[in-house]
Structure 1
Amino acid sequence: MDVGELRELSDVELIEQHDELKQELFNLRFQLATGQLGNPTLLKQARRDIARVLTVQRERELAAARETAQ
């Protein structure tokens, strides 16, 4: 998922997306530990997707803080 798609989501949808990605990362780590993970680059991809979601959330927090400060 790219940043443009994430910016179109609402705050609630971003939180849901974050929860889903955290669960996916947990499952991938579990598969890695049990030797069932065929493609280890999926871990890196999941971590980066989570970082993208958190970045968009932080951008919105900062924008809201700027609006209230003015």
Structure 2
Amino acid sequence: MGRPSGFEFAVRGEEVVIRHRGVTATVLRGAKAAEFLGQVAHSDPQLLMARATGNYRRGNERTARQHPRNAR
């Protein structure tokens, strides 16, 4: 699994706009925006933005696909 990349964010008033490769992926508002800004100084910003947008692979997709519950 590679490291997330291509994300950038901008603060616009009380909103945080997260873009992935130049395209707006999500806009955080209120408590989520404040929490994101608090965490970004102490963590990997790329990873935080990937998680916030849902564009985050956990590396278990192949294993989950092979589980009997998911076999079709």
Above 0.5 in TM-score?
no
Q: Which structure shows the bigger proportion of residues in helix conformation? A: 1
What is the TM-score with the length of structure 1 in the denominator? Answer: 0.26
Q: Which structure shows the bigger proportion of residues in strand conformation? A: 2
What is the TM-score with the length of structure 2 in the denominator? Answer: 0.25
Q: Which has the higher contact order (CA 8 A, sep 6+)?
A: 1
